[in-house]
Amino acid sequence: MDAVLKKDRLDELITKLGYEVIAPVRKGTTVSFETVSKASDIAWDYANSVVPPKKIFFPQTEELFAFDGKTIAERTPETIKRMVLGIRPCDARSFAILDPLFTKDFKDPYYIRRRENTVLVGLACAIPGRNCFCTSLGAGPFDTTGLDLLLVDMGDRFLVRSVTEKGKTLLTENEELFEEATDEAGTADEIRERAESAIKRTVDVSGLPEKLKTLFDHPVWEDMAQTCLGCYNCTYLCPTCHCFDIQDEVRGRKGRRIRVWDSCSNPEYTLHGSGYNPRPGRKNRMRNRILHKYQYYPDNFGVIACVGCGRCASNCPVGLSIVEELSTLGGI
């Protein structure tokens, strides 16, 4: 079902529907996902945020519970309804990838509650970023995986494409905000084609998970790791990286147990209490990072844990590119 949302109705969408609206906001030279109160807060012309919106469901630092002496105070479950407005399709796809991890076996209540209470309204990409390679991973600038609604920017209006029941309900329950689509779909197709052809970085990942199973002992990892500084940018900024540490913070008798993003590139990440470290070298850690995304995750959850957003490449201080790394591995 397609509809149209005129941009002059955006303020109503943000203020009248009862959601906390989180959207891309320009901060200095970068864009980040923040709570907004009006349409003019939102940066619609961005390529992507530096920090992925995974922080909305899986914050960089999050209190698991508080304690006072020996008494634990569990957090009251969050009930706030959120709308993530203007999220890029690649980032929405990252949630579809992470969902089974956080919901399978043991359920992660923090992630799940926020995820359930949130509607994801995507923004199709008209001008992809220079390191984007989402099309290589079966996605694309108009991919709807993980989204409830997809917006296509058409100047004074958005074409609104509903994806899930949750999205449809939002449209039908607020029909006064939307108009019927007329010839917007055709224009949207042209925007999509232009955007897809503007993506220049590509890599063939067909058969890669199986191929990687044969490369564990290959010397290529040693070469690749030579350049890596071990700074963790690529992991912190990756929308599918989900590793975390759990720590206690204490002041007097009171304290809280928090989880914080961690990185498999961190040498302490696997360091045993005895001093033994199963992944002592950068080679081991880089191999684990790549294999986790392109071999282990597909093995465990049936999907490559990469959305092709290119953040790892854009933010690598020494210019390492995952596209080049995957091409090298695929070419062996």
Partner 1 sequence: MENPYVPNMATIIGLKEEVKGERAIKTFRVRFNDAELADSFDYIPGQCGMVTLLGKGECFFAISCSPTKKGYLEFSIMRLGKVTRALHELEVDETVGVRGPYGNGFPVDEWKGKNILCIGGGIGQAPLRSLIQYVMDNRKDYGKLDVIYGARSTADLCFMGELEEMEKRDDVDVHLSIDNEEEGWTRFVGFVPTNLTRIAPSPENTIAITCGPPIMIKFVIQALEKLGFTPDQIFTTLEMRMKCGIGKCGRCNIGNVYVCKDGPVFSWDVLKDVKGEM
Q: Which residues bind partner 1 (CB under 8 A)?
A: 64-65, 67, 69-70, 72, 74, 77, 101-102, 105-109, 112-113, 213, 216-217, 242-248, 250, 255, 257, 259, 262, 264, 269-274, 276, 278-279, 284, 288, 291-292, 295-297, 299-300
Nearer to partner 1, 29 or 71 (CB): 71
Q: How many Å apart are CA 216 and CA 270, to the nearest integer?
A: 18
Q: How far is the CB of 264 from partner 1 (least distance, A)?
A: 6
Q: With beta carbons less than 8 A apart as the criterion, state whether 9 and 16 touch.
A: no
Q: How many Å apart are CA 280 and CA 266, to the nearest integer?
A: 10
Q: How far is the CB of 64 from partner 1 (least distance, A)?
A: 5
Nearer to partner 1, 233 or 295 (CB): 295
Nearer to partner 1, 150 or 241 (CB): 241
Nearer to partner 1, 137 or 264 (CB): 264
Q: How far is the CB of 327 from partner 1 (least distance, A)?
A: 22
Q: With beta carbons less than 8 A apart as the criterion, state whether 304 and 205 touch.
A: yes
Q: How far is the CB of 61 from partner 1 (least distance, A)?
A: 14
Q: With beta carbons less than 8 A apart as the criterion, state whether 209 and 299 touch.
A: yes
Q: How far is the CB of 165 from partner 1 (least distance, A)?
A: 22
Nearer to partner 1, 166 or 256 (CB): 256
Q: How many Å apart are CA 261 and CA 41, to the nearest integer?
A: 28
Q: How many Å apart are CA 79 and CA 109, to the nearest integer?
A: 12
Alpha helices in 9-61 (DSSP H): 10-16, 54-57
Q: With beta carbons less than 8 A apart as the criterion, state whether 122 and 89 touch.
A: yes
